Amino acid sequence: MGEAGPRILGRYEIQEEIGRGMMGVVYRARDPALGRTVALKTVSLLLAVPDEDRAGFEQRFLNEARVAAGLNHPGIVVVHDVGRDPGSASLYIALEYLEGETLAERVKRDGRLDWREALRLTAKVADALHHAHERHIVHRDVKPANIMLLPSGQPKLMDFGIAKIPASQLTNAGEFFGTPSYMSPEQATGEPLDARSDVFSLGAVLYLLLTGTRAFDAPSVPGILARVAKKDPPPPSKLIPGLPAIVDYIVARALAKDSGRRYATAHMLAEDIQDVLAERTPRHRASWTPPAPADETMRSIPAGRGAAAAAATTRPPEPPTADLRRDPSLILRLAERVGYRGVLVLVALVAVGLALPLAGRRAAQSFPIPLPSLLTTAEPGHLEIDFEHPLRSGTLRVYVDDAQVLEEALSGKVTKKILSFRLRRGSTNQTLDVAPGEHVIRVEVDSTGYDASRRIRGTFKSGETRRLEATVDGLLKKELTLIWGG
């Protein structure tokens, strides 16, 4: 602890600094009244709350921290005291001082855990969360760094009270203090939360414990939030050979984007884990139907065409074959107009299903040349463009080997307001047919005050869909990135 650090906070004697984060500093301190060591966590309001809102914020913090102090569970760190230091005006919360390491530290040192140990720890944390949820407390910041692993092997969930601050009406300041990689989709998009948000976050923790990698990761905060809201991570068994497939079910259900498809309670999650560890069929498995795989979802729908367009574009249309069988002279008449070499090129393009888009926002259409049946056996490859951006408006253009295949107008809606900043989010998803083989994909974005162009090379197989994740990230300096999805 530096010389400028406090010596006394409230009645607590500061011994040393043991941690520091966005919300404040954690000290090891001594409580002279009771003669015990505590972890004293201060809460800084300088970045979180405008001056005019601080009184209300402080009152809500104190009230919520006192409610958290009423939790009594072996898997939850004890809250001893909460208050405000009269000298510095700092809010603080005095917690049970624990010896051990966080799960974040454990994974950083040792990598992924044995899957049985990962499930055991997750079930214990789920029981602790259920205890809080029954008392109408949502943690909101479940993450590896907030789970202490004691030398006995018992996990303890920390930061109740402080993590609850954003649940109050001060959402503008609060919503950004969660940890992006472990946020639930509803938390990432600023929607109302309930206990199922904590279930999602715990599912993301379980994913890390099982695989050693985060379920949702990207180079920037907006990119992470976009993945949380829209991207499903690969099943753990795809990354860790030999992992039981039933573990994929537990992770997938905990990480369901739609909260209605998640475990309804943390207790249900714990029960299914207990069944798997006991080599029984999970008792809640029969009540859950997994979401449809991504490759069965609807393809791009032209704007303004509604449900009829959805039905029509679920699968690409089969190439026509009957016209040439009925009238072979079509080839001769076409050859007279464009030349025999030209007609062979055109027929070959249609045979592999290359979609040529019309200008503006109209749907991509196949070139209208009838095909002989012997040319319809080769199925095209599919390029799925998944684009996320923070722009108010603009234009997206996509090129395959310098041939433009898509142009679409962009718009973004305000998802968060932080002080004077308005954060916007927009997205589009389009699927295009491309010829099998290697291609250079170029993505261009034009907007007021921002334009960018990036290229990426990819190989497409017949019938295969490859997802290109294109993202514009950044608050002050925006950057376009292209990554092939899993």
Residue 70 has pLDDT above 90, yes or no: no
Across the range 179-198, mean pLDDT stands at 89
Fold for the domain defined by 102-291: Transferase(Phosphotransferase); domain 1 (1.10.510)
Lowest mean pLDDT among 70-74, 251-255, 331-335, 393-397: 331-335
Higher pLDDT, 402 or 316: 402
Phi and psi at 177, nearest 5°, equal -95, 0
Q: What is the CB-side half-sphere exposure of residue 153 using CA atoms within 13 A? A: 7
Across the range 91-102, mean pLDDT stands at 90
Phi/psi region, residue 471 (left: phi>0; alpha: psi -120 to 50; beta: rest), is beta
DSSP state of 390: -
Residue 147 has pLDDT above 50, yes or no: yes
* CA distances (Å), origin 198, targets 110, 157, 461: 25, 12, 40
Return the pLDDT at 331.
41
Residue range 99-121, pLDDT digits in tens: 899 999 999 999 999 999 999 99
Q: Under 8 Å CB-to-CB from 465, ≥6 apart: which residues?
A: 295, 381, 382, 383, 384, 431
52 burial (CB, 10 Å; 0-12 / 13-18 / 19+) is exposed
Residue 350 has pLDDT above 70, yes or no: no
Residue range 469-482, pLDDT digits in tens: 999 987 667 889 89
Return the pLDDT at 319.
36
Beta strand residue intervals within 124-165, DSSP E: 147-149, 155-157
Higher pLDDT, 197 or 333: 197
* CA distances (Å), origin 407, targets 107, 337, 358: 44, 30, 9
Q: Does the active-site annotation cover 141? A: yes
User: Within 14-152, where are the H helices?
Assistant: 54-69, 103-110, 115-134
Across the range 309-328, mean pLDDT stands at 37
> Cα(218)–Cα(240) distance, rounded to whole angstroms?
21
Phi and psi at 349, nearest 5°, equal -60, -45
Q: How sure is the predictor about 315, in pLDDT bands with cuts at 50, 70 and 90?
A: very low
- Provide, rounded to the nearest whole percent, the portion of the chain with pLDDT above 90: 38
Q: Where are the domains of the chain?
A: 1-97, 102-291, 306-484
Instruction: State the helix-helix crossing angle for 329-338 and 340-351, rounded to 10 degrees.
Output: 120
Across the range 321-350, mean pLDDT stands at 40
Query: Mean pLDDT for the chain?
Result: 77
- Provide, rounded to the nearest whole percent, the portion of the chain with pLDDT above 70: 72
- Does this model's pTM top 0.75? My answer is no
Q: Which residue has the tokens 């319809």?
A: 376
User: Within 12-114, where are the H helices?
Assistant: 54-69, 103-110
Tokens of 223: 């990119």
Sheet containing strand 8-9, strands side by side: 8-9, 12-20, 25-31, 36-43, 91-96, 79-84
Q: How sure is the predictor about 424, in pLDDT bands with cuts at 50, 70 and 90?
A: confident
Angle value at C-alpha 455, between 449 and 460, nearest 5 degrees: 140
Q: Which residues of 207-230 are buried (b: 16+ CB within 10 A; e: fewer)?
A: bbbbbebbbbebebebbbbbbbbb
Nearest residue to 472 via CA among 430, 439, 428, 441: 428
Return the pLDDT at 248.
96
Nearest residue to 146 via CA among 186, 181, 114: 181
Q: How sure is the predictor about 5, in pLDDT bands with cuts at 50, 70 and 90?
A: low
> Cα(389)–Cα(450) distance, rounded to whole angstroms?
12
In the CATH scheme, what is the homologous superfamily, with its name and number, of domain 1-97?
Phosphorylase Kinase; domain 1 (3.30.200.20)
> Residues in the chain, how many?
486
Lowest mean pLDDT among 224-233, 348-357, 467-476: 348-357
* Active-site entry in 31, 141, 433, 473: 141
> Cα(483)–Cα(469) distance, rounded to whole angstroms?
5
Higher pLDDT, 44 or 72: 72
* CA distances (Å), origin 369, targets 82, 344, 348, 353: 76, 11, 10, 11
* CA distances (Å), origin 467, targets 17, 109, 213, 459, 470: 46, 33, 21, 12, 9
Return the pLDDT at 129.
96
Return the pLDDT at 420.
52
> Cα(333)–Cα(323) distance, rounded to whole angstroms?
13
